[in-house]
Chains A and B, each alone.
Chain A
């Protein structure tokens, strides 16, 4: 495995007993990327996240994170990694300043000064107890704590699940402003595809444990074609085997993997495919997934 990538997975499978959570996937995450890990419930996102931080063994294949074996070198890995495992998991009895003190003692790369500076961006004060904070404030506090770790990789597992739109926006603003610097990478698993689309540089889509897409946002524009067409052209569009046919603002749409063999200009208007549509297309059509390039 090379030093070029922060995360490298080869032929990785994860299992809970007889059930396969992640099935023979391969991917790399280079530095300076913001990668969205998308998938329905049970797609294998959390299992993959757990494997990345050494909380779940690989049943097959190879996985390196920051050049380390997550399972065997877990403590060493976590010392140089920022990780939010879930929403609102901070101990409710603790005060904010106590958490900063504990992080200082437990996490060698943690800067208490930086955490305090980050908290000034939020409405959380050092004397607040976690149990008195709203879910959104707890999430911002958690982000401030992990963003104060001098690491090259941040792993966020559904970090904004259940938060209101303001809290989600605040969270992602803080993440991009205060942590992403072009050198560090973030891997975010989420359902909320629309909201993070503008933040991402890359996207990985899991469907029933299989990696059905691993691509940069620039490549999406060049590889996938979305066509807004008149109902009259529906038959011609359907004959070209689109990945997905749907409606957007009352307009019939079709999504293709690659340029369709159609005179696009006569059938409708080519538009930029959205991540949500792509997600729906790739995770709802198993026959297409099997043939799609990863």
Chain B
């Protein structure tokens, strides 16, 4: 069963890897290409080590953000992908269940790709950081960077962001799955109908009946998702004066913030959202069963 699931994930990679890689690699590579000729304004007093770490973090978060944006736009269409190109008949002729097919699709798009985006963003952030530090401070500034400290803190931060990505996906699951299920059943009308029902329904309940329940639930899910990704900012101000503490500060923050994000999972909103996501998953399986 695991072999089949991995193969179905491989199928996602085969079908979408070109688009994913362009999406993830293009922004940092364009930035890197423009760096020698462009102008960058950075606070002069910032220590090169902190500047490099900040660059890595921004690169990782930015690439991950782009991947998330693309995911939200792409996911509803994926619900009907195999029906649209008629390959559903081929996939249904193979001994893989519909749950496995949809599960592999979601695992790849919602978990693996955003995590891959983080890793690639961080990786490409390294040459950007080197280029940036060199551009602003020359080789002397580069020499000031304690590379083991930078890599250690980057790894600690990355681990926190990877966990945050996975947890954020859980928080956003009901919204994403609702869009997918609506798209599967209502085709092109799916997304507008969901957005319309949530928007109009929320307004009517709020303004006419004084029940802002839709906004409360939406706010809870989005706050939960943001908190899962980045629970609190931590206290990094002292690093301006003590940049050598970067590794311990980031590690400490990553640990505490991860615990806080995990603690946030004990929420009825998350549980309710996951139940809704489960229902939408069942609707997707049902639609796939009835296709063809």
- Chain A residues with CB under 8 Å of chain B are 53, 55, 74-79, 83-86, 88-94, 98, 101-108, 142, 146
Contacts and interface: CB of A to CB of B under 8 A. Distances in A.
A85 B90 contact: yes
Contacts of B88: 89
Contacts of B95: 74-79, 106-108
Given A85-B292, A89-B86, A102 B10 contact: yes
Contacts of A89: 86-90
Interface stretch (B1-9, B119-127, B236-244, B276-284): B1-9
A59 B292 CA distance: 19
B94 interface: yes
A158 to B, nearest CB: 11
Nearest to A46: B292
A92 B85 contact: yes
B287 interface: no
Majority SS at the chain B contact face: helix
B3 A53 contact: no
B216 interface: no
B15 interface: yes
Given A93-B15, A94-B15, A55 B86 contact: no
Contacts of A93: 14-15, 85
Contacts of B91: 91
Contacts of A74: 95
Given A78-B95, A107-B94, 7 more contacts: A53-B93, A55-B92, A76-B95, A83-B93, A94-B15, A106-B7, A106-B95
A91 B93 contact: no
Contacts of B4: 105-106
A78 B87 contact: no
A98 B14 contact: yes
16 contacts: A55-B292, A79-B95, A85-B90, A90-B87, A91-B85, A92-B85, A92-B87, A93-B14, A94-B15, A102-B10, A102-B14, A103-B94, A106-B8, A106-B96, A107-B95, A142-B90
Contacts of B97: 75
Contact of B10 (A86, A88, A105, A107): A105
Interface in B73-99: 82, 85-97
A148 B283 CA distance: 34
Given A76-B95, A91-B15, A92-B85, A101 B10 contact: yes
A94 B81 CA distance: 14
Nearest to A82: B93
Interface string B94-110: 11110000000000000
Interface centre among B7, B15, B87, B95 (most CB of A within 10 A): B95
B116 to A, nearest CB: 19
A98 B7 CA distance: 11
Contacts of A98: 14
B11 interface: yes
Contacts of B93: 53, 78, 83-85, 146
Nearest to B7: A105
Nearest to A108: B95
A154 B93 CA distance: 12
A104 B11 CA distance: 12
A105 B6 contact: yes
B15 A105 contact: no
A88 B7 contact: no
B244 to A, nearest CB: 49
Nearest to B15: A93
A129 to B, nearest CB: 11
Query: Nearest 8 pairs between A and B by C-beta?
Result: A105-B7, A78-B95, A91-B87, A89-B89, A85-B89, A79-B95, A75-B95, A83-B93
A284 to B, nearest CB: 30
A165 B3 CA distance: 40
Nearest to A50: B292
A101 B95 CA distance: 15
Contacts of A103: 94
Nearest to A103: B94
A53 B89 CA distance: 12
Contacts of A79: 95
A86 to B, nearest CB: 5
Nearest to A55: B92
Contacts of A53: 93
A193 B93 CA distance: 25
A105 B87 contact: no
A169 B118 CA distance: 53
Contacts of B15: 91, 93-94
B234 to A, nearest CB: 43
A101 B292 CA distance: 25
Nearest to B92: A55
B89 A86 contact: yes
A102 B6 CA distance: 10
Interface in B1-60: 3-4, 6-8, 10-11, 14-15
A238 B94 CA distance: 52
B290 to A, nearest CB: 10
Contacts of A94: 14-15
Contacts of A86: 86, 89
